Amino acid sequence: MRLCSIAVLLALTLPTAAQPNGGAPVVYKVSFPAPEHHVAAVDVTFPDVPAGTLQARMSRSSPGRYAVHEFAKNVFDVHAFDGKGKELPLARPNPYQWDVTGHDGIVRITYKIFGRLVDGTYLAIDTTHAHMNMPATLMWARRMDDRPVRITFTPPAGSNWRPATQLFPTTDAWTFTAPNLQYLFDSPTELSAHQVREFTVANSDGKRFTIRAAVHTASSERDIDEYAAGVEKIVREAVTVFGEYPAFDGGTYTFLADYLPGNAGDGMEHRNSTVVSGRGNVRNGLGTASHEFFHAWNVERIRPQGLEPFNYEEANLTDSLWVAEGFTQYYGSLIMGRSGLADLKRTVGGMGNLADSVINGAGRQFRSPVEMSHMAPFTDAARAVDPTNFSITFISYYTYGGAVALALDLSLRDKTDGKVTLDDFMRAMWKVHGKPGGPAPGLVAKPYALSDIRDRLAEVSGDRAFADQFYTRYMIGREVVDYARLMQRAGIVLRKRNAGMAWAGELRGAPDAVNRIGNLQAPGAPAYAAGLEQDDILADVNGKPVTSIQQFNETVAASKPGDRMAVLVKRGSATVNATITLQEDPELEAVLLEDTGGTPTPAQKSFRDRWLGSQQRR
């Protein structure tokens, strides 16, 4: 009989609600016998294991960070046992997997794992906390991912830690449940002597949610209070975009904030929580909090195809990170501005930077927003030994998508005199793809395809031809809108930042040689057209020796657009003569019309206020 006594006992002691899928739960015990050595001890029992080989794995990927990570690398001291405690042999068919055979329907695996990077993707253990991203911490087994999970944490003896997590609580403060592997792995957990601030929000139907900030930091109580007050402003402004809060599982959403020296600056979205980390004062983390909270709708519930369900065995590819991350980037800043946490100049300046990045970014010559999304596994925390040319062929989907969001918001407002906005588009995406939810917490039933973006846009704009054209030209295509004309409607001027200044391209010195070009040259820039490239040594310009790239750049700055510069280049043993024809510096900036000496018209003021002002009073 496969179902042995331990499994029966576990099944009997669990509330039936924790077993929506029928199987007995997978049981994890995580302890920290030597936190000063950055090690956790994990003990996992898989009950009701089908006959044959149990394939236990460490993940190769983690939601929200798109490179392959190989979490197996930090696992050591692995042992497997059957239900009677007999040790079983382990085979390693590949670097990420431990095969267990000869079991009696129960497999218990114990292992240790090392981790010391505090961010949103990895595992960090020290004497002040255990900061756990679950795919980086927990081994799982193939074909058991729909099993419910029960997990108990044991803090180090004598510690004053307490848990903060979106996992479902039980009557034991240190034991939690998850309905399936997807939810478990979406549930980062912080065990520390953190401080908690909380407030309550409600939907119009009266449904209430508790928003918590669990803050592990050396910042002062006052800083934590200010952070929590900022978080509350963000939360109350963000909801106006969608009209309602998601039905947070368990009725809570938690900001797991970790701001201590040595931390990485990061933010990572989850369904009912976010990890936000950094090394400075927690008050500086509000911009990240604004971005991550928007993800509670956009990506956690309005989920693109390709990420649903998340595949923990390889890198995950989606067409739509320019929406999932880019639109979130745009709204993260917009909500900071609308809620009064960022001033108008900063918000408008950020919009200008988005526009500049795509208008002038060399990467747009090669890849559309969709194609930039496909680069995520190679660019998001990815490590390469051989050089890449991403600096000239890639524009982050955060930036490119943010610029598309700006273009679409302004185009809709321009076309409808403010009656239809990007908020309406986000709300349509929410109603069709996010709000319906999924069969269990952690699952999304209606992830969207690219064509859904086009269709929702046709619906909210009431103009299928506009939607088709915008989609074809700016989403799957590489064209850009007339940002200057659109921004002018809000009394914002998009202008050359260094008007009249000569420009040769972006040339930076190599660290080891002051007159050697240290960066790849971008197609379209004068230096590229002249045949200059990274590693070229600029020996002299216009007959005078070049002592540094900085000096070369000063010579350019003292020239005029259209001037020609004769450059002697040393490339290995060869010497090359090149002529650079200088252009005007194309970099753009967005400034308020009134800061250029102009006066916005009432129509411009109204357009600007309806776009960038708080939506809460409307």
Interaction site with Zn ion (CB under 5 A): 325
- From the CB of 310, what's the least distance to Zn ion, in Å? 15
Q: Residue 65: is it exposed, middle or buried by C-beta count within 10 angstroms (0-12/13-18/19+)? A: buried
Nearer to Zn ion, 138 or 426 (CB): 426
Strands 273-278, 252-259: pairing kind: parallel
- From the CB of 327, what's the least distance to Zn ion, in Å? 10
**Cβ-count burial 263-296 (b if 16+ within 10 Å, e if not):** bbebbbbbbbbbbbbbeebbbebbbbbbbbbbbb
- From the CB of 304, what's the least distance to Zn ion, in Å? 13
Nearer to Zn ion, 128 or 298 (CB): 298
- From the CB of 89, what's the least distance to Zn ion, in Å? 43
Nearer to Zn ion, 40 or 422 (CB): 422
Q: Residue 383: is it exposed, middle or buried by C-beta count within 10 angstroms (0-12/13-18/19+)? A: exposed
DSSP string, 454-498: HHHHHHHHT-HHHHHHHIIIIISS-----HHHHHHTTTEEEEETT
For residue 258, the one-letter residue type is: D
Nearer to Zn ion, 197 or 270 (CB): 270
Nearer to Zn ion, 325 or 356 (CB): 325
Nearer to Zn ion, 35 or 402 (CB): 402
Q: Among 392, 316, 347, which residue's Cα sits nearest to residue 63?
A: 316
- From the CB of 248, what's the least distance to Zn ion, in Å? 18
Distant-in-sequence, close-in-space partners of 193: CB < 8 Å, separation ≥ 6: 128, 129, 159, 160, 161, 162, 216
- From the CB of 242, what's the least distance to Zn ion, in Å? 16
**Residue with the CB atom nearest Zn ion in the bound state:** 325
- From the CB of 400, what's the least distance to Zn ion, in Å? 14
> Could you identify the residue written with the tokens 């002249």?
530
Nearer to Zn ion, 267 or 441 (CB): 267
- From the CB of 593, what's the least distance to Zn ion, in Å? 32
- From the CB of 422, what's the least distance to Zn ion, in Å? 17
Nearer to Zn ion, 258 or 325 (CB): 325
End-to-end CA distance of the chain: 65
Q: How far apart are CA 591 and CA 609, in angstroms?
A: 15
Nearer to Zn ion, 64 or 230 (CB): 64
For residue 213, the one-letter residue type is: A
Beta bridge partners of 584: 502
For residue 346, the one-letter residue type is: R
For 348, the token pair is: 């408008």
- From the CB of 295, what's the least distance to Zn ion, in Å? 6
3-state secondary structure 371-412: HHHCCHHHHCCCCCCCCCCHHHHCCCHHHHHHHHHHHHHHHH
Helix (H) or strand (E) holding 46: strand 39-46
Nearer to Zn ion, 72 or 335 (CB): 335
Asked if residues 554 and 515 have their Cβ atoms less than 8 Å apart, the reply is no
- From the CB of 332, what's the least distance to Zn ion, in Å? 8
- Residue 290's SS3 state is helix
Nearer to Zn ion, 227 or 294 (CB): 294
